[in-house]
Amino acid sequence: MSTLVGKKAPVFEEKAVINGNQIVEGYSLSQFVGKKDVVFFFYPLDFTFVCPTELLAFQEKLAEFEKRNVQVVACSVDSEFSHWAWLNTEKKKGGIQGVTYPIVADLSKTIAEAYGVLAGEYDFDDEGKSVFNGAPVAYRGLFLIDKEGVVRHSVVNDLPLGRNVDEALRMVDALHHFEENGEVCPANWSEGKEAMTASAEGVAEYLTNN
């Protein structure tokens, strides 16, 4: 799988559910170019087990992303109707009621394929029949896309492995720190800690102080 980091994020226009109760046509991340950074993440399927914990965790931290002028957007290979039903199912019944950020419907799997997170591929068997090798869902991919529409960070987890939402926030902070101060962020950096200049002197000073 080739990386998208440093490249323009693939463009799409698809159906999505926004505000937990409204289905819209032609939803696109292009609307945020020049305005907001985007955290765009994939999850395998609605009405599953690890997935609701992730979507609800992003909702719990949504104010922190919004404070940083970051738009959170989710996507899976389910239909917009499945998204809508899941969004209107109570948490105690395995639903994600209360999630307000957009969830994109990738029923054709073309978005997951464009972002390199489809957990399998279409092929033909010995009889010439179309088959799908692997799982016809998306891995748990996450992409941090800057205001220019360029992917600056990505991480892909296998299906059983849930993500750390605080780590996504940390990467947003690191990107903003670099953009605002020109300093690079060393290992385990977090907001408020010392960064460094991208030079031999900067590295030496940082290592001496830490």
DSSP string, 152-180: EEEEEE-TT----HHHHHHHHHHHHHHHH
Cα distance between residue 25 and residue 202, in whole Å = 49
Cα distance between residue 65 and residue 52, in whole Å = 19
Are residues 27 and 17 in contact, defined by beta-carbon separation less than 8 angstroms? Answer: no
Are residues 29 and 38 in contact, defined by beta-carbon separation less than 8 angstroms? Answer: yes
Pairing of strands 103-105, 151-157: unpaired
Task: Tell me the one-letter amino acid at 95.
Answer: G
Instruction: Return the exposure string of 147-156: e unless at least 16 CB atoms fall within 10 Å of the residue's CB, then b.
Output: eebebbbbeb
Among the options 51, 142, 144, 174, which is catalytic?
Answer: 51
Q: Which of 157, 168, 170, 153 is nearest to 51 (CA)?
A: 157
State the residue for tokens 């399927």. 45
Q: Look up 185 and say whether it is catalytic.
A: no
Q: How far is CA 80 from the centre of its chain?
A: 18
Cα distance between residue 68 and residue 36, in whole Å = 9
* Catalytic (active-site) positions: 51
